[in-house]
């Protein structure tokens, strides 16, 4: 029997890379993309973001061989963690 962490349809990839985020008001800020799957991302940021908020993100790769990953996401949860906020998103579109 699969344990809980294996019941996801898509596996998470640990990333821990800087990500550029634009909210629905056009404000641009940065955070850290902690993990990425085919359907969502977990982001760490320094400000709270409302559940349901649409975010545009740009995840820049560490090398030049791969283009940036640009997405439109929806915030599913935002939880206080240490000196920032942990945001769970679902990816609605890869642009």
CB contact at 8 A, 73 and 25: no
The pLDDT value given to residue 65: 82
* Integer angstrom CA distances of residue 35 from 13, 24, 42, 43: 5, 22, 5, 7
Query: Which pLDDT tens digit goes with each residue over 57-81?
Result: 999 887 778 899 999 999 999 999 9
The pLDDT value given to residue 46: 97
Residue owning tokens 């800087």: 18
Query: Which pLDDT tens digit goes with each residue over 1-20?
Result: 444 444 455 567 888 899 99
Q: What is the CATH number of the domain that holds 28?
A: 2.40.10.220
Count structural domains, the chain. 1
| 67 is a domain residue | yes
Q: Which of 74, 14, 15, 19 is nearest to 45 (CA)?
A: 19
Domain that holds residue 51: 13-94
Antiparallel, parallel or unpaired: β 40-45 and 84-94: antiparallel
Per-residue pLDDT for 50 more than 50? yes
Query: Which pLDDT tens digit goes with each residue over 20-36?
Result: 999 999 999 999 999 99
| 53 is a domain residue | yes
């Amino acid at each position: 029997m699969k344990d809980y962490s294996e019941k996801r349809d898509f596996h998470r990839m640990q990333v821990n890379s800087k990500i550029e985020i634009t909210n629905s008001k056009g404000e641009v800020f940065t955070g850290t993309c902690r993990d990425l799957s085919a359907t969502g991302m977990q982001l760490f940021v320094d400000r709270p973001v409302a559940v349901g908020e649409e975010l545009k993100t740009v995840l820049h790769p560490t090398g030049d061989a791969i283009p940036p990953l640009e997405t439109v996401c929806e915030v599913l949860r935002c939880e206080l963690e240490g000196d920032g906020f942990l945001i769970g998103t679902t990816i609605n579109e890869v642009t």
